[in-house]
Amino acid sequence: MGESRVAVIGGGVIGLSCAWRLADDGADVTVVDPEPASGASWVAGGMLAPVTEAWPGEERLLELGSRSLRRWPGFASRLTAAAGMDAGLQTGGTVVAAMDSADRAELDGLAAHLRRLGRDVNALPGRELRRLEPALGPNVRAGLAVPGDLSVDNRALLVALRAVCDRVKFVAAKACAARPGSVELVDGSAVDADVVVVAAGAWSAALHPALAGRLRPVKGEIVRLRARPSALPPPARTVRALVSGRPVYLVPRGDGRLVLGATQYEAGFDIEVTVGGVRDLLRDAEQVMPGLAEYAIEELSAGLRPVTPDNLPVIGELEPGVLAATGHGRNGLLLAPITADAVVALVRGAASPVPTEAAGWDGAAG
Ligand SMILES: Cc1cc2nc3c(=O)[nH]c(=O)nc-3n(C[C@H](O)[C@H](O)[C@H](O)COP(=O)(O)OP(=O)(O)OC[C@H]3O[C@@H](n4cnc5c(N)ncnc54)[C@H](O)[C@@H]3O)c2cc1C
């Protein structure tokens, strides 16, 4: 890619992953962001979970997520080596718990769907699940063990990504438009570039006409918890559960901390944490893991998932000289490695590992 000047709008997990890989490939990279790592990437739970996130009708997303998950160990070890700090990958796996008979029926349906797709899922009765994870409560009736679904400490990841972007220029400014040849800033100035990459998460739609109407923010609230000395230790694996039909998850960080998430609302760009959201999360999580009552609450936060109508990301050319890497919805951490590979390939003019039709982009709009 030689001396290409690339300007990336947005310094979340997607923008930083692309910036790192582009700079590594020889590009002269600038990230434009008033507050890098302040968006959904900082708030997220950190699951790398294409299988336990699978929904019937989202087979292309499952395939894309699985391909990105296969890249994760290499991505994390390269990042850890380059940054000189741990990139936060956790390989303990995932269990999914069902609390009542309707939850169990739903989980059985998910297991059947995954088996039809040739995916390995291990259905277990409640006592077997408790043997794996003694923190689970007596009301857990049944569940699944999915050792291949992993997690990452999203904040450790972002710190490591910032560290490896030492050759990247950062411009602390808000962009208002992505054009061929430049990024326009709200103060009227511009950052010149040969290629512009729109990676501003839920805010991307305002930056290029071809993205208008293709992305919407979906709010999610998260509770960060810490085991106090008197509390039962956290689970070793990510615990996902259905509690009277409501999904909830607990992602261990390996240091006694636990991330509890997440609510889901269509609420525009609102990121205030609500009493109702936190109450629902705590109530449901305590049913799954009763020992949670002894944990300390360290932080409440909310973020915006950048969601597309088909839940697939938009990765591709919007017009010559302007690329999109956005719309990763509930899977931006999972999809970061494959997105960065795709953007490097697109900037080079090489074949992308993400066929445009498998990445939410049909090239027809705009
Ligand atoms: C509650 C919650 C839980 C989640 N859990 C998971 C999970 O477990 N696993 C998973 O894979 N994904 C998860 N996600 C989804 C994931 O967080 C997102 O898909 C991902 O963070 C999107 O990354 P991004 O870099 O595109 O956007 P963001 O992280 O939102 O970053 C966007 C960046 O763009 C900047 N920006 C915005 N507007 C402008 C502008 N005009 N000019 C310049 N810069 C701008 C912002 O300052 C920000 O730094 C979760 C999301 C939420 C909200």
Cis peptide before 193 (omega within 30 of 0): no
CA of 268 to the centre of ligand 1 (A): 15
Q: In what order do the strands lie in the sheet with 190-192?
A: 175-179, 182-185, 190-192
Rounded to a whole number of angstroms, the distance between the first and last alpha carbons of the chain is 27
User: Is the C-beta atom of 196 inside 6 A of ligand 1?
Assistant: no
Residue 12: name the closest of 165, 141, 118, 140 by CA.
165
Atom of ligand 1 nearest to the CA of 35: 47
User: Is the C-beta atom of 172 inside 6 A of ligand 1?
Assistant: no
Strand partners, 248: 241
Atom of ligand 1 nearest to the CA of 301: 1
Q: With the C-alpha atoms ordered 21, 150, 361, 175, is the resulting torsion angle positive or negative?
A: negative
Residue 312 CA from chain centroid, whole number: 13
Residue 302: name the closest of 332, 260, 255, 331 by CA.
260
How many helices (H) and strands (E) the chain has is answered by 8, 20
Q: How far is CA 298 from CA 132, 158, 258, in A?
A: 27, 19, 10
Region of residue 363 (phi > 0: left; psi between -120 and 50: alpha; otherwise: beta): left
Can you give the pLDDT at residue 361?
61
User: Is the C-beta atom of 217 inside 6 A of ligand 1?
Assistant: no
- Cα gap 358→335, rounded to integer Å: 13
Q: What share of the chain is helix, strand, coil (3-state, %, to 5)?
A: 35, 30, 35
Residue from 17, 41, 215 to probe ligand 1 pocket by mutation (most atoms less than 8 Å from CB): 41
Mean pLDDT by 10 residues, the chain (366 residues): 84 98 97 97 98 90 96 98 96 95 92 88 94 96 94 98 97 98 98 98 97 96 97 96 95 96 95 98 97 97 97 95 97 98 94 73 46
User: Is the C-beta atom of 154 inside 6 A of ligand 1?
Assistant: no
CA of 119 to the centre of ligand 1 (A): 29
Question: By alpha-carbon position, which residue is closest to atom 14 of ligand 1?
Answer: 330
CA dihedral 89, 39, 200, 335 (to 10 degrees): 20
CB atoms under 10 Å from CB of 226, counted, come to: 16
CB atoms under 10 Å from CB of 346, counted, come to: 22
Question: By alpha-carbon position, which residue is closest to atom 12 of ligand 1?
Answer: 331
Burial of 57 (C-beta count, 10 Å sphere; 0-12/13-18/19+):
exposed
Can you give the pLDDT at residue 364?
43
Residue from 151, 186, 203, 269 to probe ligand 1 pocket by mutation (most atoms less than 8 Å from CB): 203
**Strand pairing report for 28-32 and 195-198:** unpaired
Question: By alpha-carbon position, which residue is closest to atom 27 of ligand 1?
Answer: 201
Contact in structure between 94 and 146 (CB atoms under 8 Å)? yes
Q: How far is CA 123 from CA 91, 111, 129, 133, in A?
A: 20, 8, 9, 15
User: Is the C-beta atom of 247 inside 6 A of ligand 1?
Assistant: no
User: Is the C-beta atom of 200 inside 6 A of ligand 1?
Assistant: yes
Atom of ligand 1 nearest to the CA of 220: 1
Radius of gyration in angstroms for the set of CA atoms belonging to the chain, rounded to a whole number: 20
- Cα gap 348→24, rounded to integer Å: 13
65-85: burial string, b at 16+ Cβ within 10 Å, e else: bbbbbebbeebbebbbebbee
Q: With the C-alpha atoms ordered 72, 74, 76, 78, is the resulting torsion angle positive or negative?
A: negative
CA of 222 to the centre of ligand 1 (A): 14
Q: How far is CA 16 from CA 7, 128, 213, 226, 286, in A?
A: 11, 41, 25, 28, 35
Question: By alpha-carbon position, which residue is closest to atom 20 of ligand 1?
Answer: 332
User: Is the C-beta atom of 203 inside 6 A of ligand 1?
Assistant: yes
Residue from 14, 16, 281, 339 to probe ligand 1 pocket by mutation (most atoms less than 8 Å from CB): 14
pTM of structure: 0.97
291: helix, strand or coil: helix
